[in-house]
């Protein structure tokens, strides 16, 4: 849910937001089976952040956005939340 909120809040017109959301879903579909259940929200949020960052840099191609977001998540996976002792 956080990932969708991040994309909804991005400073782009609705047609670009739609592309960013489709890109998130396509990127997520390609890795969803490899993500631990407790890492789903963080991983989707990381994908959304990366998609927004690349879109801000001028990239609007869905395939390129997805590839770059997936590479970012592979290179910098979301950290595990600290556990209380």
Burial group, residue 23, by CB count within 10 angstroms (0-12, 13-18, 19+): buried
Percent of the chain at pLDDT exceeding 70: 92
pLDDT (tens digit per residue) in 26-77: 999 999 999 999 999 999 999 999 999 999 999 999 999 999 999 999 998 8
- How many Cα atoms within 13 Å fall on the side-chain side of residue 13? 2
Cα(17)–Cα(74) distance, integer angstroms:
24
> How far is 31 from 43, CA to CA, in rounded Å?
10
> What pTM does this model have?
0.88
């Amino acid at each position: 849910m956080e990932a969708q909120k991040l994309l909804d809040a991005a400073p782009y017109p609705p047609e670009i937001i739609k592309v960013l959301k489709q890109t998130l879903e396509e990127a997520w579909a390609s890795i969803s089976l490899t993500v631990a259940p407790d890492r789903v929200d963080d991983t989707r949020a990381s994908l959304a952040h990366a998609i927004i960052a690349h879109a801000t840099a001028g990239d609007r191609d869905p395939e390129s956005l997805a590839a770059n977001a997936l590479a970012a998540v592979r290179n910098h996976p979301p950290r595990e939340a600290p556990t209380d002792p």
